[in-house]
């Protein structure tokens, strides 16, 4: 219970930070749309897909690998070598990130030309410096994650996103006056600045907490961990995680190259293809909002699972997986239903129209598979089943490539075909990962059992939203709408839907008293009496 409470509090801190960061991102996209237009966002999105792939190679394996090493070393009380792990990883990833930064800057224009997206070349070049900065930043975040100190990570994320949004919009506005490709490049400048300042912040916190001074007062560990051992573990853990992250983010490159080519094949012009890709990017941004919470959850449970696996505590691994999946499904199922039911309203609020909202109506449910496969991936990392995980995600990407090639090239389906590819990309690995976990960890957590209650509660939530939405829309046909009115009634619908979901979940036993207490006992006391009576 104590471990679960600690995980829940860490999860809540990171979730709040993630939500705030994503709200800033959600604000950023429509503002960027206003500055550079849908075509410009399409150019920007393609450059970002390339960046994310290179970033995955440089950094995405870093944070979980460092966190896993640090949590294992600290599991036996060795704080001194946990700090050594940070220093070694920081040096290694700075070299890797620096090399990839130089390479991406040199190859920015050839890559853009080869992929038939020459207009994105400036944006790719502008994103390159952020590779080395995020690599170093990830090593510090991995160290703090391994220590289960989530507040520092959370603050760094919010700080990074604030600077990213503000500076990117400023440079987009300035540079779009020269040309649209330069304006799209300007929209990426804040990525490097935000990462740099976030890195300085974590270095400041590291020095302020005096970790190195504290170990001088501790007894020397009986068994030391050598630099060679840390390097071997960085390769052993980091390489498969990096490959896995690279493969998953290769999906973005698949969308960029495969989708663009198939849209042109289907008879769309280059400008129309850019616009459709911009609509796909808007959909991806919204779909990623619930995943911020799932990412926060994965960040908090990785050290817990890694420690349990190191100590061969199978009971704790099962408890962590069950806790994570139950929470994941309780968040993503209502999020998917809510995004589908409120798609038009959310698009009006953020993008000023409903163009592209049909992508959300049909594709919102994919977030459930994305989230579950992400949590399964974290657990597989924790129990060191890296390569089976790598195989499952590779199969998903192959299916995505095939589906995109077939369906996006059909004129009547066009960009909607990406949804079919995305479904296969995440649903199939979800099934495979469940089999791997059951076989290697001897653990079976019933997905169906964790789905039923959130699904029932989400159905009631949808009925409540629709029941309230229709009369509101009728009134608005006479009064007219603007952004402020849309914001108010959308927030009311979200609030009512969330309240109905919470009440039904409490009545079904999907939310329990200990779940509330693990966050804060004060929250339980603030609940209405009739809800407290229903909590078990």
Q: Any idea what the Cα angle at residue 132 is, between residues 130 and 138, rounded to 5°?
A: 95
End-to-end CA distance of the chain: 16
Mean per-residue pLDDT, 372-401: 85
How far is Cα 334 from Cα 456, in angstroms, rounded to an integer? Answer: 10
Q: What is the structure's pLDDT at 424?
A: 92
Q: How would residue 518 be classed by pLDDT, with cut points 50, 70 and 90?
A: low
* Whether the Cβ atoms of residue 296 and residue 11 lie closer than 8 Å to each other: yes
Considering only CA atoms, which of 67, 8, 38, 29 is closest in space to residue 305? 67
User: Could you tell me which residue, 274 or 422, shows the higher pLDDT?
Assistant: 422
Helix axes 227-254, 79-114, angle to 10 degrees: 30
Query: Concatenated DSSP letters for 61-125?
Result: THHHHHHHHHHHHHHTT-HHHHHHHHHHHHHHHHHHHHHHHHHHHHHHHHHHHHTT-GGGHHHHH
Q: What is the structure's pLDDT at 517?
A: 60
Q: What is the structure's pLDDT at 524?
A: 64
> Would the pLDDT of 301 be above 50?
yes
What single-letter DSSP state applies at residue 259? I
Q: How would residue 460 be classed by pLDDT, with cut points 50, 70 and 90?
A: very high
* Whether the Cβ atoms of residue 378 and residue 305 lie closer than 8 Å to each other: yes
What single-letter DSSP state applies at residue 510? S
Distance of CA 203 to the CA centre of its chain: 24
Sequence-ordered list of residues with C-beta below 8 angstroms from that of 226, at least 6 positions apart, any chain: none
Cα dihedral: 20, 26, 31, 37 (round 10): 160
Considering only CA atoms, which of 43, 65, 352, 78 is closest in space to residue 182? 43
* Whether the Cβ atoms of residue 59 and residue 134 lie closer than 8 Å to each other: yes
> Would the pLDDT of 242 be above 70?
yes
> Would the pLDDT of 337 be above 90?
yes
Mean per-residue pLDDT, 13-22: 70
Q: Provide the token pair at 36.
A: 């550079």
What single-letter DSSP state applies at residue 217? T
Percent of the chain having pLDDT more than 70? 86
User: Could you tell me which residue, 351 or 116, shows the higher pLDDT?
Assistant: 351
Q: Provide the token pair at 390.
A: 């790598």
> Would the pLDDT of 521 be above 70?
no
Q: Provide the token pair at 136.
A: 């170093």
Q: Provide the token pair at 306.
A: 């890694």
* Whether the Cβ atoms of residue 324 and residue 303 lie closer than 8 Å to each other: no
> Would the pLDDT of 410 be above 60?
yes
Highest mean pLDDT among 11-15, 226-230, 363-367: 363-367
Mean per-residue pLDDT, 194-218: 85
Q: How would residue 82 be classed by pLDDT, with cut points 50, 70 and 90?
A: confident
> Would the pLDDT of 21 be above 50?
yes
Per-residue b/e over 431-458, b at no fewer than 16 CB within 10 Å? ebbbebbeeebebebeeeebbebbbbbb
How far is Cα 275 from Cα 37, in angstroms, rounded to an integer? Answer: 9
Name the least confident of 275-284, 388-397, 526-535.
Answer: 526-535
Sequence-ordered list of residues with C-beta below 8 angstroms from that of 158, at least 6 positions apart, any chain: 17, 20, 21
Name the least confident of 64-68, 408-412, 482-486, 488-492.
Answer: 482-486
Percent of the chain having pLDDT more than 90? 13
Sequence-ordered list of residues with C-beta below 8 angstroms from that of 343, at least 6 positions apart, any chain: 354, 357, 358, 360, 361, 364
* Whether the Cβ atoms of residue 498 and residue 462 lie closer than 8 Å to each other: no
Q: What is the structure's pLDDT at 523?
A: 62
Distance of CA 187 to the CA centre of its chain: 20
How far is Cα 147 from Cα 406, in angstroms, rounded to an integer? Answer: 47
Q: Is the dihedral of CA 76, 77, 81, 87 positive or negative?
A: positive
Q: Tell me the average pLDDT of the chain.
A: 81
Sequence-ordered list of residues with C-beta below 8 angstroms from that of 52, at least 6 positions apart, any chain: 249, 252
> Would the pLDDT of 335 be above 80?
yes
Residue with tokens 């039923």: 452
Q: Any idea what the Cα angle at residue 284 is, between residues 279 and 287, rounded to 5°?
A: 130
Q: Provide the token pair at 406.
A: 């077939």
Q: What is the structure's pLDDT at 202?
A: 93
Per-residue b/e over 285-324, b at no fewer than 16 CB within 10 Å? bbbbbbbbbbbbbbbbbbbbbbbbbbeeeeebbbbbbbbb
Name the least confident of 131-145, 199-213, 352-366, 508-522.
Answer: 508-522
pTM exceeding the 0.95 threshold for the entire prediction? no
User: Could you tell me which residue, 382 or 228, shows the higher pLDDT?
Assistant: 228
Q: How would residue 471 be classed by pLDDT, with cut points 50, 70 and 90?
A: confident
Sequence-ordered list of residues with C-beta below 8 angstroms from that of 395, at least 6 positions apart, any chain: 428, 429, 432
* Whether the Cβ atoms of residue 231 and residue 69 lie closer than 8 Å to each other: no
Q: How would residue 450 be classed by pLDDT, with cut points 50, 70 and 90?
A: confident
> Would the pLDDT of 1 be above 50?
no
Considering only CA atoms, which of 138, 131, 92, 137 is closest in space to residue 108? 131
Could you give the 3-state DSSP secondary structure of residue 480?
coil
How far is Cα 203 from Cα 79, in angstroms, rounded to an integer? Answer: 18
Phi, psi of 154 (to 5 degrees): -60, -45
Q: How would residue 256 be classed by pLDDT, with cut points 50, 70 and 90?
A: low
């Amino acid at each position: 219970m104590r471990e679960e409470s600690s995980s829940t509090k860490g999860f809540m801190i990171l979730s709040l930070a993630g939500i705030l960061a994503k709200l800033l991102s959600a604000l950023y996209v429509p503002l960027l749309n206003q500055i550079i237009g849908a075509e410009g966002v399409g150019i920007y999105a393609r450059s970002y897909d390339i960046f994310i792939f290179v970033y995955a190679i440089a950094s995405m394996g870093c944070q979980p690998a460092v966190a896993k090493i640090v949590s294992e070393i600290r599991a036996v009380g060795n704080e001194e070598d946990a700090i050594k792990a940070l220093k070694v990883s920081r040096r290694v990833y700075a070299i890797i990130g620096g090399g990839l930064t130089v390479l991406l800057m040199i190859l920015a224009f050839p890559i853009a030309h080869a992929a038939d997206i020459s207009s994105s070349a400036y944006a790719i070049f502008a994103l390159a410096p952020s590779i080395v900065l995020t690599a170093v930043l990830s090593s510090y975040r991995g160290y703090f994650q391994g220590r289960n100190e989530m507040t520092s990570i959370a603050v760094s994320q919010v700080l990074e996103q604030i600077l990213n949004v503000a500076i990117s919009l400023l440079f987009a506005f300035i540079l779009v006056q020269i040309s649209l490709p330069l304006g799209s490049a300007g929209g990426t400048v804040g990525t490097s600045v935000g990462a740099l300042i976030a890195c300085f912040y974590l270095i400041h916190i590291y020095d302020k907490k005096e970790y190195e001074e504290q170990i001088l007062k501790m007894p020397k560990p009986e068994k030391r961990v050598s630099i060679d051992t840390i390097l071997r573990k960085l390769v052993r853990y980091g390489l498969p995680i990096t490959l896995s992250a690279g493969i998953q983010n290769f999906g973005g490159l698949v969308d960029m190259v495969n989708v663009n080519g198939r849209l042109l094949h289907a008879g769309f012009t280059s400008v129309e293809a850019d616009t459709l890709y911009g609509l796909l990017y808007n959909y991806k941004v919204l779909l990623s909002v619930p995943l911020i919470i799932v990412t926060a959850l994965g960040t908090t449970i990785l050290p817990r699972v890694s420690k349990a696996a190191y100590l061969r505590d199978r009971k704790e691994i099962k408890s962590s997986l069950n806790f994570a999946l139950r929470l994941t499904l309780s968040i993503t199922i209502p999020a998917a239903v809510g995004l589908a039911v409120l798609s038009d309203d959310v698009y009006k609020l953020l993008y000023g129209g409903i163009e592209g909202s049909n992508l959300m109506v049909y594709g919102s449910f994919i977030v459930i598979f994305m989230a579950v496969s992400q949590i399964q991936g974290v657990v597989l990392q924790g129990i060191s089943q890296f390569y089976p995980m790598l195989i499952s995600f590779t199969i998903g990407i192959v299916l995505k490539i095939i589906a995109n090639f077939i369906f996006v090239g059909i004129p009547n389906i066009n960009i909607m075909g990406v949804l079919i590819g995305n479904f296969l990309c995440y649903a199939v690995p979800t099934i495979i990962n469940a089999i791997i976990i059951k076989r290697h960890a001897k653990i079976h957590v019933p997905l169906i059992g964790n789905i039923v209650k959130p699904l029932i509660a989400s159905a009631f939530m949808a009925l409540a939203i629709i029941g309230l939405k229709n009369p509101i829309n009728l009134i608005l046909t006479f009064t007219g709408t603007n952004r402020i009115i849309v914001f108010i009634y959308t927030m009311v619908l979200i609030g009512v839907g969330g309240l109905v979901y919470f009440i039904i979940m409490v009545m079904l036993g999907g939310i329990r008293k200990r779940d509330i207490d693990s966050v804060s006992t004060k929250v339980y006391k603030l609940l209405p009496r009739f809800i407290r009576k229903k909590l078990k």
